[in-house]
Amino acid sequence: MAKFFAFCFLLLEFATSVFANNPPEILNKTCVDVDIGFGLQINIYIDTCPEAETIIFSGVQNAVSQDSRMAASLLRLHFHDCFVNASGCDASVLLDDTEDFVGEKTAAPNLNSLRGFEVIDAIKSQLESVCPQTVSCSDILAIAARDSVVISGGPSWDVEMGRRDSLSASKALANNNIPGPNSSVSDLVAKFQNVGLTLYDMVALSGAHTMGKARCSTFSARLQATSVSNGGDINLDFLRSLQQLCSVSGSNTLAQLDLVTPATFDNQYYVNLLSGEGLLPSDQVLVTEDDQTRAIVEEYVVDQFTFFEDFKSSMVRMGSLGPLTGNNGEIRRNCRIVN
């Protein structure tokens, strides 16, 4: 299966280079439905902890009901966990620093940015009381990400489970591997390929920015833009509103990634890009720098169902690449520290 997935990935790379300016529809679907989770499977806790998914969903639902932004935060936690190293989604992002260990929470993409750790703690505590050392923290992150999307009006999917938790973390890898808010399309593609994901996965997963907020400091480059909308770099009315917000309140002020439906998981993010209203530079470049990514954005604008289907497939792919399974890693009792 590993060899087959490698072949599929190489096929996609070859095909995207050949059809760079006019990608056929089939490329967007190639190998998407292949089971690439080595040792992962759905409903893995059906016998060992049958209440697991219900407990996780309830915890996420309660958190989002108190703070609608939490849905985006929990989804983002899963992303930042999966992008750090070869072992993929391993809950390394949840580890606290100790006297002799520096984790990933203070890495530049995470510091004063990631949130929702206490929600995961509460869910883990409840699971430990029902079925001790059974459900991994990394599986909790993956399931909570799915539930956050569902609760916000987005699609559902079967989460492959069976991940184990890492025994370490890497601040250096978090700094180097997590895509930044000022990334170009080529930078984004390289970061996604680094973890085994394609250009198509990148555009679909970028749609997670249809929810949540970002600090003014993360999109300061947008405040200097001068191009007009209608496919250009930025909508001038949108620019003025951002300049006013950030000049009055400062660099730590939060702005909605999607002003139209900020707490709903939908395709409005892509509509915003075509209007020159992508908040982060790394969002807007999807329609200004590359014809291939722009074509995908345009498809998602007219067909939300296609976006949902592609997002689901890409989430499964991201969550299933190179996980710790078997005797690797552990099932942490507390998500913040190794056992």
Residues catalogued as catalytic: 80
CB 297 within 8 A of CB 274: yes
H or E element that contains 120? helix 117-130
Burial per residue of 232-264, b for 16 or more beta-carbon CB atoms within 10 angstroms, e otherwise = bbbbeebbeebeeebeeeeeebebebbeebbbe
Contacts of 58 (CB under 8 A, 6+ apart): none
Alpha helices in 220-337 (DSSP H): 236-249, 268-274, 281-288, 291-302, 304-320
Q: 230: left (phi > 0), else alpha (psi -120 to 50), else beta?
A: left
How many angstroms separate the CA atoms of 168 and 278, rounded?
35
CB 238 within 8 A of CB 229: yes
The sign of the CA dihedral 115, 263, 302, 239 is: negative
How many angstroms separate the CA atoms of 42 and 276, rounded?
40
Tokens encoding 314: 């890409």
Tokens encoding 301: 């604008």
How many angstroms separate the CA atoms of 209 and 54, rounded?
26
How many angstroms separate the CA atoms of 250 and 40, rounded?
45
